[in-house]
A and B are shown apart, each in its own frame.
Chain A
């Protein structure tokens, strides 16, 4: 379990980019009050999904408008083809923690080269 940020630091409608892990993880606080964590890096080209647009339970990549379902990581809109991973989220003592996925990430070509 990796501490991310205080719950109070992540208001509804906002995202937090956890960059102490590689690849980084994006945590979203939806307008409905749910917390979700997915890989921060779009699987199409290296862009931060935390910088994207949160709408309901979806995030839209700011670069090419690929959309990912925060609950499943699946692609809802092209050009991305591969899903992002989802990660567990735990809130304890007003702090948000992430439980990283064991699966291999689907990183875009540029980001893959750098982390390999």
Chain B
């Protein structure tokens, strides 16, 4: 219980900082911190596998991706960013509130269902994998299709229109 009491405020603070910081790099790093703290939360709760995966995928890949895209784009004006804040707050809330509502609904249903709630420690990786690739196979495949589409889209974006990708033989 004590680790949770320490961790949750930290996660909330880091998340708030990620939203509030005007400098995009600071925000991205705080986001990475939030994700890392979440991973530690999983570890504390006994979900070792998910915790480490969270760390690897979110801190190692997603956060780095965000940070990297910040590096290769031009940073916006900070003052302008702060001036835009009230408007951003509205759009932000409009986007996040429905998500929060859905999440709360799911959690409340999960709580009432009760039967599915098992101790995280007792679930082996094998069980996890089996569930993922049998009962949840359609969802996994949908995510796979989505990611492929994203990749193709990114490749299309990265290619400048009407220009062949340069290779050393013709550069």
Q: Do A and B come from one complex?
A: no
Q: B interface vs A, CB < 8 Å?
A: none
